[in-house]
C-alpha cells in the first residue's frame, strides 16, 4: 500500500498523461490528444483547488499527536489532510477518461479507489478526506470534460447531419 500511495501522486499521473498525449499526437489522433490534454487540465485544477482547501482548513492528519495539534502551522504538511490530493488528482484524471470513453474509464476506476484505500492505510487521511477528494475530482473532471470534450461531440454530430 505504501507503493500504491507513492505511485498515486500527481507527478506520476502527469507523466502518464504527457506520455499518452504524446503518443496520441504522434499517431495523429486529434480526439485522443485532446482527451489526454483534458485529463492533464483536470489534474491541475483538482490539485490547485485541493491545495487551497488544504491550507485553508489545516486539518491534522490521523498520525499527528494531540500535542502537535495545539502548536500547529497551516503550512506544515502534517496539517494538510483535508482533502486527499492523491485521490482528488487521480479521480479528476481518470474521470475525464470516463466521460470521454465509458468503457476505458470504467476499467481505470479501480485506480483512484485503490489510491484512496492506500492513503487511509498509511494513516495519511481520514475517510472523509478521501470521500470529499473523490467528489472534488469528479466535479473537476465534469467541468473539464464539459469545456474541452463536449465541443468535439458537437462538431461530430454537426458533420454527420
Residue 87 has pLDDT above 80, yes or no: yes
C-alpha to C-alpha distance for 39 and 51, rounded to whole angstroms: 18
pLDDT tens-digit readout, 35-80 = 999 999 999 999 899 888 887 877 777 766 554 555 555 555 666 6
Is the C-alpha dihedral spanning 118, 1, 92, 59 positive or negative? positive
- Looking at residue 119, its pLDDT comes to 85
Residue 23 structural domain:
2-160
Digit-coded pLDDT (tens) for 89-137:
999 999 999 998 889 888 988 989 998 888 888 887 888 888 999 999 9
Number of H helices, E strands in the chain: 9, 0
Give the total number of structural domains in the chain: 1
DSSP run (H or E) holding 48: helix 30-57
User: Is the CB of residue 26 less than 8 Å from the CB of residue 45?
Assistant: no
Q: Got the DSSP string for 49-98?
A: HHHHHHHHH-PPPTT--HHHHHT--TTSGGG--SS-HHHHHHHHHHHHHH
Kindly list the distances between the CA atom of residue 139 and the CA atoms of 10, 29, 112, 142, 143, in Å, as whole numbers in the listed order. 17, 26, 14, 5, 6
Peptide bond into 24 cis (omega under 30): no
Instruction: Provide the pLDDT confidence category of residue 161 given band limits of 50, 70 and 90.
Output: very low
Q: Count CB neighbours of 16 within 10 A.
A: 15
Q: What is the distance between the alpha carbons of residues 37 and 42, in angstroms, rounded to a whole number?
A: 9
Grid coordinates belonging to 47: 490539485
Amino acid at each position: 500500500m505504501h507503493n500504491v500511495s507513492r505511485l498515486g501522486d500527481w507527478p506520476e499521473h502527469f507523466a502518464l498523461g504527457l506520455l499518452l498525449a504524446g503518443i496520441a499526437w504522434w499517431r495523429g489522433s486529434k480526439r485522443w490528444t485532446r482527451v489526454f490534454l483534458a485529463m492533464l487540465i483536470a489534474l491541475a485544477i483538482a490539485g490547485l483547488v485541493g491545495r487551497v482547501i488544504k491550507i485553508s482548513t489545516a486539518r491534522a492528519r490521523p498520525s499527528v499527536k494531540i500535542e502537535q495539534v495545539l502548536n500547529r502551522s497551516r503550512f506544515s504538511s502534517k496539517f494538510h489532510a483535508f482533502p486527499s490530493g492523491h485521490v482528488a488528482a487521480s479521480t479528476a484524471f481518470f474521470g475525464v477518461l470516463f466521460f470521454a470513453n465509458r468503457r476505458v474509464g470504467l476499467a481505470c476506476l479501480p485506480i483512484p479507489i485503490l489510491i484512496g484505500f492506500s492513503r487511509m492505510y498509511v494513516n495519511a487521511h481520514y475517510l472523509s478526506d478521501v470521500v470529499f477528494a473523490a467528489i472534488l475530482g469528479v466535479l473537476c473532471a465534469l467541468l473539464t470534460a464539459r469545456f474541452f470534450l463536449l465541443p468535439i461531440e458537437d462538431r461530430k454530430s454537426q458533420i454527420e447531419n
